[in-house]
Structures are given as structure tokens and as C-alpha cells.
Amino acid sequence: MILSVKGLAFNYPGRSVLRNISFSISKGELLAVLGINGAGKSTLLKCINNILKPCAGSVFINEDETKRLDRRERAKRIGYVAQRQESIKMTVFDAVLLGRKPYIKWEASKKDLAIVEDILSMLGLSGYAFRYLNELSGGELQKVVLARALAQKPKLLLLDEPTSSLDLKNQIETMKNIKKVVEEQGISAVVTMHDINLALRFASKFLFLKNGEIYAAGGHEVITPENIEKVYSIPVRIDRFEDVTVVTPV
């Protein structure tokens, strides 16, 4: 088991955001966290990564509690991509190289540089290597931040709406790359998403959040019209088209 979350809870002042969240994922699994705006999806990722301190519960990576890991060790195990990114005057190559920081003692090694080059190539960013971040579009910047997280060679990827700024083609390609890395490297990923159909194409497990609690969790069997209507307050129908499951609002 790579990630295990047990009884997690988090409160903002005067407001409960997460309550009694428990789930686990193994290597090679991609978990899609689904729910309406304000359901607690982004907060959940920040609690897993110890950016926010839960008021109850525990998070374990490979049986080690994350709050007991120092920042460097946590960065070796968890790659995190936030929803919003800052564009600064730094080259794409250097930005991705920052993902190797937990491993670098004095200066970047040939191995570090090779890892960055391979990831840039995989994400179609080789031609952007010496462009500055503040010259990129929102979608291009999103891919660079994903590349930096992959450069950490983590055991767990936490991705907060990684396709939100991307066009349709790049949404599909980005999710394909995430799934490929998860399966081939035997790691895990937790991805918050709004697009249920995109989640259905690539995720192996699903977790519906409603009012800060888990409403349903499991494999494709939890993607039902009843669950979706309860979580999103809209009726849907589910069809199969050329072996692809499609959710359509009614």
C-alpha cells in the first residue's frame, strides 16, 4: 500500500471542511477525487501533503506517517501540483530541474540533467526548455509544473485539476502520460477532477466527496446515475460508446 488515509479531518476557522476521510491506494493505481466546488477536494490533497495540518487522523506513505517526515524526505516521496501556478522569469529547464532539489547536494549530476531531459521529451516540452515561464500560456505552464513533479521521482503524485487549463488534445495527452508513469513506474496518483468522463477514461478508482465526507468510493461500480445525481444535484444517464463509458446530463 503506497498511500493510506485514516480518519482525516480538517477545519478552517468556524467551518468544518473534511470529516472522517479514510481510503487507501496501491502502486499502479490512479484515484480520481470527484465532487462539486467547495467539497474539499483541494484541501484533501494539501492535508495529504502536510501543507495543511489535519485536526484529526493520519496519513501514511509506505507505512511512514507523513507528518513525521522532514521536508526533503517528503518531497522525495510526494510530487504535488497545485491548481494555480506562478509564472516567474526562470527557464523551463531550470524549473523542472527544481524537482531534483531533494536529491541534489552540491550541484546537479548528469543523472539529474538526463531525468529532466527525458521528462521534457515525454511531455512534449523539449522545444520550450530555454523559454521563460512568464512567456508561457496557462496550459504550457501547467505542463511544466507537472514535469517538475515527475522529476522528483515520487512514490505518490497529488495533482489538483491538472487538466483545467488545457485544450482537449492536451487534456487527453496529459492524462495518458500520468497514467503511463503510474503504471510503468509502479507509483500511485490522486487527481482532483471536474470532468467525470475524463476521469472514467483514465482512473482506476474513484472517490466522491460531498459536504466534506466520502459519499462513495471504489472502482467503476460506484459511477452510477444515482451517485452522480446525489453528489452533483443533476440527473444523468450513463451509456457505452465504442467501449467508452460516457456520462451525459439529462
**Whether CATH 3.40.50.970 fits 3-249:** no
- The pLDDT tens digits of the residues spanning 109-157 come to 999 999 999 999 988 899 999 999 988 887 788 889 899 999 999 999 9
- The pLDDT tens digits of the residues spanning 162-209 come to 888 788 988 898 898 899 889 988 999 999 999 999 999 999 999 999
The whole-model pTM stands at 0.92
Query: φ and ψ at 86, to 5 degrees?
Result: -100, 135
Instruction: Give the residue, 36 or 173, on which the prediction is more confident.
Output: 36
DSSP characters over 74-109: HHHHEEEE-SS----S-BHHHHHHGGGGGG-SSS--
> Which distant-in-sequence residues (6+ apart) come within 8 Å of 129 by Cβ?
91, 92, 93, 120
Which residue, 157, 146, 135, is CA-closest to 87? 135
State the Rg of the chain over Cα. Answer: 18
Residue 85 has pLDDT above 70, yes or no: no
- The pLDDT tens digits of the residues spanning 3-18 come to 999 999 999 988 899 9
DSSP letter at 186 equals T
Judge whether 5 and 19 are in contact, CB under 8 Å. Answer: no
Q: Angle of helix 168-185 relative to helix 138-151, nearest 10 degrees?
A: 0
Task: Give domain limits for the chain.
Answer: 3-249
Which residue, 92, 19, 35, 17, is CA-closest to 206? 35
87 band by pLDDT with thresholds 50, 70 and 90: low
Judge whether 25 and 3 are in contact, CB under 8 Å. Answer: yes
